[in-house]
Structure 1
Amino acid sequence: MKTGNAELPVKNQQCDVPLAHYQGLYESLDPRAVAERCGLSFEATRAGEGFFLLRLMGTEYRAAFPVFELRDLQGDDVREPYEKILLIRYLCEGKFFESRGKRLSYNEIPWGPTYYRNFEGRCLKRAAHSFGNDLAAFRRMVEGLPGLRFEALDTGDAGYRFEFLNGLFISLLIWAGDDEFPPSAQMLFDDNFIFAFTAEDLAAMGEVVIRRFKEKK
């Protein structure tokens, strides 16, 4: 499958080392224990092999085990390396718990204040710039993403709470710009994210969310 992203080979080079590291951890895991820890289904295909069923931004994927590969149900593989790293890290280290209904800002996430500048630049400012000047287009992107589980929010000039990964929901709020103020954005994470991902993961996750919505533009 070809891709039009000219930066992809560079990203792959940068991500090869962490992917190799987590692959080494991944293949040593008990897949049944992973499925229970992450609240996922595991389907065995033969002795010691199979795949986990994941739902990322509305699209269903199979994460192969013990050699990690990520493919949709049509058999197309995920080429975006940050998405692959996020998901293999979750399978190796994350835990799923039901949310208690609280939504956390990035600064309320453990170690969030340490990485906030990075998150602000990669996610909040980029989201504001990408969506804040055309709220109608933003609504079409969210509501038109196939399979995405979402609900519209009253907060912000346009806002949605949507499922990033099975049972893990993000709220993205956008305020439109005007003659005096530039557009702005806020991203909130359901409280169960603190068991599933680190603050560093969430900064990369914001990029994934923005890119997937922009692909629907």
Structure 2
Amino acid sequence: MNQDKNRLNQNKGYMNWETTLELAQKVFAEKKPYELAYRVNVKYNETENEFILPFLNKEYHVKYPSGEVYKPGGEDIPIVNKILILHYLNSSKGTPLKNKWISFKELPSGQIYVDPFHNRAIRPLVTIFGERPEQMVKAGIAMGGKEEKMGDGSVVIPAFPLVPVAYVIWRGDDEFPPSGTILFDESAPDHLPTEDYAVLASTLVFEMKKTAEIVNRT
């Protein structure tokens, strides 16, 4: 397991998406399917040779051993989502949730990536929902999340079965602009490499934005 994680950390960087995906698929092909399904608590369909798991409140299928990620109906999937799904399957140790929130900088080497994380996830979160945290909460709930009692508006979204992500907004006033934060369960390092959490957090922000637009039209 550690060898797999080291290989991921040494070779991926989200600079070359295709190369990153190919590497993740190679690592995935080396896994033992039943052990993997049990460890990360996802379904494995032996007849179809594929894993079935929820991501962003939608069902995804992953062919074994090819690592092909698809959705029933043939809907296009962004390559970043394919990579995140494979990295979760490859990296997760199956550690149960510890029910204690930590910030991004508390993740391993989080200090190194904190500026990109802020620019990629926190800043868009505040720009989009800073003046309307209630819309963030509604969108998060529509994505399978649960409202929490933090800040002036907060919601926890189960990105993967063992990876909840908390989004918190504080409204601005005459003295201070709106602010926000994104939190992870203390078990987070056992499920994805730190760099992936910056990508995942950003992905969820923009999914909430799209969902909020749909909710507002209904």
Q: CA deviation at 1:69?
A: 2.3
| Residue matched to 1:6 | none
Q: What is the distance in 1 between the residues matched to 2:118 and 2:206?
A: 16
Output one character per residue of 1:75-102: Cα deviation in whole Å (capped at 9) or x when no partner.
3344211111111112222222111221
Match of residue 8 from structure 2: none
Unaligned runs of 5+ in 2: 1-13, 214-218
Contact 1:122 1:203 survives alignment (8 Å): yes
Identity of aligned residues (%): 24
Q: In structure 2, what residue type is equivalent to 1:199?
A: T
CA–CA distance in structure 2, aligned partners of residues 203 and 56 of structure 1:
16
CA deviations on 1:108-138 (whole Å, 9 max, x unpaired) are: 1111111111111111111111111222322
Structure 1 letter corresponding to 2:67: F
Are 2:126 and 2:169, in contact at CA under 8 Å, matched by a contact in 1?
yes
Q: Which has the higher helix share?
A: 2
- Give the structure 1 partner of residue 190 of structure 2: 195
1:57 maps to 2:56: yes
Could you tell me which residue of structure 1 aligns to residue 216 of structure 2?
A: none
1:39 correspondence with 2:41: yes
Correspondence for 2:139 among 121, 138, 141: 141
1:66 aligns with: 65
1:151 deviates by 2.2
CA distance in 2, matches of 1:200, 1:98: 21
Q: Structure 1 residues 167 and 89 mapped into 2: Cα distance closer, same or farther (>3 Å)?
A: closer
1:25 equivalent in structure 2: 27
Query: Any stretches of 5+ residues in structure 1 without a counterpart?
Result: 1-11
Answering whether residue 158 of structure 2 is matched by residue 159 of structure 1, we say: no
Deviates more, 1:115-124 or 1:25-34: 25-34
Equivalent position SS for 2:50: strand
1:191 is aligned with what amino acid?
A: E
Residue 178 (structure 1) aligned with residue 177 (structure 2): no
Distance 1:181 1:79, change over 3 A: same
- Aligned pair in 2 of structure 1 residues 119, 28: CA closer, same or farther (>3 Å)? same
Question: Residue 95 of structure 1 aligns to a residue in which SS?
Answer: coil
* 1:104 Cα deviation from its structure 2 partner: 1.0
**How far apart, in 1, do the equivalents of 2:139 and 2:124 lie?**
16
Number of residue pairs aligned between Structure 1 and Structure 2? 199
How big is the shift at 1:61? 1.5
Deviation of the 1:196 alpha carbon = 0.3
AA at the equivalent of 1:42: Y
Give the partner amino acid of 1:38: V
- Which residue in 1 is equivalent to 2:121? 123
